Amino acid sequence: MVKSVELNPEKIRHKDIDDAKLQRLVEAALFIADKPLSVQLLKRDFLIEYRVSNLRIRDIINAIQADYKGRGVELNKVASGYRFQTPADLSEDLAHLYKEKAPKYSRAILETLALIAYKQPITRGEIEDIRGVAVSSQIIKTLTERNWIKTVGHKEVPGRPVLYASTQEFLDYFSLTSLDQLPALMPMEDFNH
C-alpha cells in the first residue's frame, strides 16, 4: 500500500540501515528515478528515514559501479548525478529497437539521382548545368550514404571534378539487373552537348 509519508520530524534520519540493504535501495532508486540522482537527492528522496553519511552513499555508489562493470548496463556519473545507461559498445545492436523514418526525398535529390543514373558518369557541374541550380553537398551525401551513387574517377577538365555513377545497390533496390532496364524516356535532350 502507498504510505502517505507526511514525514514528521521524528521520522527523519532515525533508522539504521545495513550496507546490503542500503546498496539495494540505492540501486533500486537509481533504476526507477526519471533523472540522474546526486548523493544529496538520494539522501533527500529515498533515504530520508535513514541515518547515512554522504561518504557512505558514495562508497555504495562505487560498489554498484564496480558490480555493473562489463554488463548490459553501467552506472555513469553525469553532470547532475548518477544514472544507469547502456554501454556505448551496445548502441549499434540496440539501434534496432528505435526506428526513425527518414524524411521523404526532395525533388532535388530525385532529379540528381535520375541524372546520375541516366547520364553516368557525370560531374556535379554537369548536373548543375542541366538542372539550372546548384547541387548541395547534402544531396550528394544523402545519395552516397544510401549507397546509391559512387565516385568512379575524375573528369580531365580544369579542376578535375569527380565523376559520379550509380551502384549495384541502386540497381538492386529498383530490382534492375542492368541500367538498360531503366525505363526509356521519350523525347530526351542529349545532355552531353
Please give the Cα distance from 148 to 82 (Å, whole number): 43
**Position 46 contacts a second copy (CB under 8 A):** yes
Q: Interface with another protein by CB under 8 A: which range of 9-17, 18-26, 54-62, 143-151?
A: 143-151
Helix axes 19-32, 54-67, angle to 10 degrees: 70
Work out whether the CA dihedral 66, 71, 41, 2 comes out positive or negative.
negative
Residue 55's binding partner among another protein, a second copy, none (Cβ under 5 to 8 angstroms by kind) is none
Residues 64-93 binding another protein (CB under 8 A) are 73, 83-88, 90-91
**Position 31 contacts a second copy (CB under 8 A):** yes
Quickly count: other Cβ atoms within 10 Å of residue 124's Cβ: 19
Residues 161-190 binding another protein (CB under 8 A) are 163, 165-166, 172-176, 178-180, 182-190
H or E segment to which residue 125 belongs? helix 124-131
How large is the greatest C-alpha to C-alpha distance in the chain, in angstroms? 91
Residue 26's binding partner among a second copy, another protein, none (Cβ under 5 to 8 angstroms by kind) is a second copy
- The residue count of the chain comes to 193
Q: Interface with a second copy by CB under 8 A: which range of 22-30, 51-59, 75-83, 150-158?
A: 22-30
**Position 10 contacts a second copy (CB under 8 A):** no
**Position 79 contacts a second copy (CB under 8 A):** no
Taking CB under 8 A as the criterion, the residue among 66, 79, 102, 184 binding a second copy is 102
Residue 66's binding partner among another protein, a second copy, none (Cβ under 5 to 8 angstroms by kind) is none
Burial of 37 from C-beta contacts in 10 A (0-12 / 13-18 / 19+): buried
